[in-house]
Structure 1
Amino acid sequence: MRAGSTRDALVAAALRVVEREGLPALTTRRVAAEAGLPLGTVHYWFTDKRQLVATTTDALLQEVRERSAGATDLRDAHRRLAAVPAGRQLALVELTTAALRDPALADLARQQYAAYRATALQQLAELVPRADADLPGGSEALATLVVAVLDGLTLSTLAEDDDEGRGRARADAAVELLLDLLQRHRDRVAPPGDAP
């Protein structure tokens, strides 16, 4: 294996372990076994578990960024993120929480939510073009609210979804409600002739 591919294989193995078994199962021994590599290989690439967690979290965040980057609107962004398998979503929640508990890793969580807000701001620019002038807190506050709503919907779907997909259907309906409210606001404050 080439050096980069060895490291990538270890990160992919770490993601699979967390996705399948949760963060407590993320040990260097478990990652080595999952990757089919000697334990020493993990220690060569990662000085400790903290570095392994940081690298794994960063890889997962990059995956989320790539998944949401091409979203055409908030509905599409929600669908793209909701399509992430439940185990992967739980892994992200666990890794984010671990990053928040460790001051050395907290910047990863900040980067995660900054990326979410950037995606929301991009999508909201057309939906609420005058947010900075018309809303308390402006576009930053609106983007923060949208991220919080979508984040909460992700968690509630994980908690409430069933074989019939009722949790996902409720989340989809909530996104439609949010979009309707934003469109109503846009239509209410649009100067004459600017309404779509």
Structure 2
Amino acid sequence: MNRPRRETGGRREDLVAAAARVLARDGVAATTTRGIAAEAGVPLGTVHYWFAGKDALLHEVALAHTRRVADAAAGEGFGGSAAGEAAARLRAAFAVVRTAGRGERLASLELLSWALRTPGKEDLAAEQVRVAREVAETAIEPWRRRHGGDVANREDGSGADPDLLAVLVAALVDGLATAELADPAGTRAEEVLDLLADLLSGITRTTG
């Protein structure tokens, strides 16, 4: 029996996009390969030609979302101070999260829970978290390049480990995304990102 083809292509991307729409509308439990085929306007066999099944499609949907967020943080045209650039890159990544509809954002949370609950899919959950940390690392890289060594190596031992800072930033942004879904007005995400830039600037000033 031939295995489903793994190379990228227009049809494969169309199916991932269709799966994302079904997932956003119906949730993980109600998403089926039949529903995805109907959404894409193709025979069910086409889905199984490209993907081994629903789990494989969900895996691709989760990675596609995290890649879009990561690409936004790694974009060009950011400037200003190191701390300001870090905040701008995080805002760009957060904008991609916000651009997704409420259903897609809920689906992203569901996919993380699904991966954690599904035997054999734990690596997908870990990968989603790793990508979030990569986004944070990309965002703070200009700051880290200019000031990270000084901060990490303070003689008085009060420095911040730049690696831990990336973990903290990733957790902050991920938490903001979740909190904003539940309480959009109270989360004040833009102000929190401004505060983060101020905190990075404060760390920088103390190294002078």
- Specify the TM-score bucket, using the shorter chain as the normaliser: 0.7 to 0.9
What do residues 51-92 of structure 1 show as CA deviations (whole Å, max 9, x unaligned)?
121122222222222222217333223322233323332222
Shift of 1:147: 0.6
State the alpha-carbon separation in 2 of the partners of residues 84 and 140 from structure 1: 29
Which residue of 146, 154, 162 corresponds with 2:169?
A: 146
Give the superposition deviation at 1:103: 4.1
137 and 180 in structure 1: CA distance in 2 versus 1, 3 angstrom threshold: closer
Q: Normalising to structure 1: TM-score of the pair?
A: 0.81
Residue 34 in structure 1 maps to residue 39 in structure 2: yes
Within the candidate set 94, 105, 109, 2:121 is matched to: 105
The residue number in structure 1 matching 2:14 is 9
Conservation of the 8 A alpha-carbon contact between 2:115 and 2:125 = yes
1:23 aligns with 2:61: no
For 2:108, give the aligned amino acid. Answer: L
| 1:174 corresponding residue in structure 2 | 192
Structure 1 residue ranges without an equivalent (≥5): 191-196
Q: CA 1:144 to 1:118, structure 2 compared with 1: closer, same or farther past 3 Å?
A: same
Structure 1 residue 78 corresponds to structure 2 residue 90:
yes
- C-alpha RMSD of matched pairs (Å): 2.3
Q: Secondary structure at the match of 1:31?
A: helix
Deviates more, 1:9-18 or 1:48-57: 48-57
Give the Cα separation in 2 of the matches to 1:124 and 1:74.
5
The separation in 2 between residues aligned to 1:167 and 1:42, in whole angstroms, is 42
State the Cα distance separating 1:136 from its structure 2 match.
6.0
CA deviation string 1:23-56 (max 9, x = no partner): 2221111101100111121122222222121122
Give, in whole Å, the separation in 1 of the partners of 2:49 and 2:142. Answer: 48
Change (3 A) 1:106 1:75: same
- 2:24 and 2:73 map into 1 onto residues whose CA distance is 20
AA partner of residue 182 (structure 1): L
Give TM-score, length-normalised by structure 2.
Answer: 0.77
Counterpart Cα distance in 1 of 2:36 and 2:90: 31
Q: Which residue in 1 is equivalent to 2:66?
A: 61
Deviations 1:95-146 (A, max 9, x none): 1222222342222232232232233223324335234325666111111001
Greater RCO between the two (CA within 8 Å, min separation 6)? 2
- CA contact under 8 A between 1:127 and 1:183: conserved in structure 2? no
Rounded Cα–Cα distance in structure 1 between residues aligned with 2:50 and 2:140:
41
Identity %: 38
Q: Relative to structure 1, is the Cα distance of residues 125 and 58 closer, same or farther in structure 2, using a 3 angstrom cutoff?
A: closer
Cα distance in structure 2, aligned partners of 1:88 and 1:167: 21
Q: Which whole-Å CA distance do the structure 2 matches of 1:104 and 1:174 have between them? A: 36
Give secondary structure in 2 for the equivalent of 1:24. coil
SS in 2 for 1:175: helix
- Structure 1 position 50 matched with structure 2 position 55: yes
d(CA) in 2 for partners of 1:181, 1:19 = 35
Question: What amino acid sits opposite 1:57 in the alignment?
Answer: A
Partner SS for 1:189: coil
